Amino acid sequence: MKSCWIFLLLCGLVSAQTRPDPEWDAVFQRNRGWNGADGAYSVLLNGGWTGWLFSDTFVGPVDPDGSRKDNAFIHNSWARIESLRPTVNLFSNREVYSNPTSPNAYWVYQPVLDSGQKGWIFFGEFSFSKEGPEGLNFKQVGNWLAPLDWSGTAPKVGKPLAIPHFQAQPALNFGAAVLEEADYFWVYGTRDYGDHKELLLARVPGGQLDDFASWEFWPHWSHDVNSAQPLLKQVSNELSVFRVDKEFRLLTQVGTEVRYYRGLNPDRFEDFKVIAQLEEEDGVMTYNAKAHPELGWPLLITYNRNAFPPQLVLDKADRYRPRCLRLDKDPWQQP
């Protein structure tokens, strides 16, 4: 038993319910081209593939000593990975979306696709300034919804639409997670106070995400975004909501805890279990754990790593790459 705990500690993880996934970890440990990013949203594609979307991304060589030199830095990227054989993959060195008239960054949030591989993707728009610590000197200035077509090898993004419900201070951003059910899209958003993030919820009758006038906000299902109240008072900016049989699950990260919630409805999450406690060693911080249920069970979970000042992720590429865990079984399901 003692040796098991030592193994988990060395992997940067203490948990009784999750385990590291070295096969998927190796997929993101690349030494040329795309070699590290955060974000890591995924969506099921046809033909046994999974589409992945990332935010800030390093592109270039990783030297034998593990450092990044002569790397480009782009603000979003994508990959196409075979679901059952993740070593078969294609990583892009180009942005999914950029605005040629703006210096701002566009970070990805949840994509949703229909059976024809067409749908939508959410973006957050961020500006930068010389004020504040390097690497943390940004603020959100917009929230966008764009048509997404992934019927070909690469994703194609159409003209983005400004989400009118966005608020800048504190930042209210929608698209942290999206759940598609028969009658509604359930669109989860976060209100970011800096030291904590609250979870808000909108539902869209009929599934017309771009009909912003039809959005209704929890708990009263009013069309007025100012009536929205927090569904949960502590979440991360990026998270996952999905169905497990007749129930719903929400996975998020609070501090170093990966929290796994259950609910009988997509607007009620009260009971949770801490399924992983992420260690932050070597100057690294962890954030934005997410689930990838389209890959089946055991459930794949990714989380992001980063270090400040930014020179640390240039000195050691492994400080800025997704890491992967597996949850072998849903803790509320019968054995």
Please say if the pLDDT value at position 210 is more than 50. yes
Please say if the pLDDT value at position 314 is more than 70. yes
| β-bridge partners, 58 | 36, 73
Domain ranges of the chain: 1-30+247-335
Confidence of residue 145 (pLDDT cuts 50, 70, 90): very high
Chain segment 212-249, per-residue pLDDT in tens: 999 999 999 999 999 999 999 999 999 999 999 999 99
Please say if the pLDDT value at position 15 is more than 80. no
Any alpha helices (H) in the chain, and if so which ranges? 2-10, 22-28, 311-315
Contact 201, 182 (CB under 8 A): no
% of the chain exceeding 70 in pLDDT: 93
Angle at 20 between CA 19 and CA 26, to 5 degrees: 160
Question: Where is pLDDT greater, at 309 or 65?
Answer: 65
Least confident of 22-36, 61-75, 163-177, 272-286: 272-286
Contact 313, 68 (CB under 8 A): yes
Question: Where is pLDDT greater, at 242 or 2?
Answer: 242
3-state class of 266 per DSSP? coil
Please say if the pLDDT value at position 130 is more than 90. no
State the pLDDT at residue 11. Answer: 41
Residue 293's identity, in one-letter code, is: P
Please say if the pLDDT value at position 196 is more than 70. yes
Residues 6+ apart with CB under 8 A from 193: 170
3-state class of 282 per DSSP? coil
Confidence of residue 151 (pLDDT cuts 50, 70, 90): very high
Angle at 156 between CA 183 and CA 302, to 5 degrees: 70
Calculate mean pLDDT across residues 258-277. 96
Please say if the pLDDT value at position 7 is more than 50. no
Calculate mean pLDDT across residues 318-330. 97
% of the chain exceeding 90 in pLDDT: 87
Confidence of residue 280 (pLDDT cuts 50, 70, 90): confident
Confidence of residue 14 (pLDDT cuts 50, 70, 90): very low
State the pLDDT at residue 133. Answer: 67
Q: Structure pTM?
A: 0.93
Question: Where is pLDDT greater, at 131 or 263?
Answer: 263
Phi, psi of 57 (to 5 degrees): -135, 135
DSSP per-residue codes, 60-116: S-B-TTS-B-S-EEES-EEEEEESS-TTSEEE-SS-S---TT---EEEEEEEEE-TT
Confidence of residue 132 (pLDDT cuts 50, 70, 90): low
Please say if the pLDDT value at position 148 is more than 90. yes
Chain segment 45-89, per-residue pLDDT in tens: 999 999 999 999 999 999 999 999 999 999 999 999 999 999 999
Write the DSSP symbol of residue 48: G
State the pLDDT at residue 138. Answer: 86
Calculate mean pLDDT across residues 2-8. 37
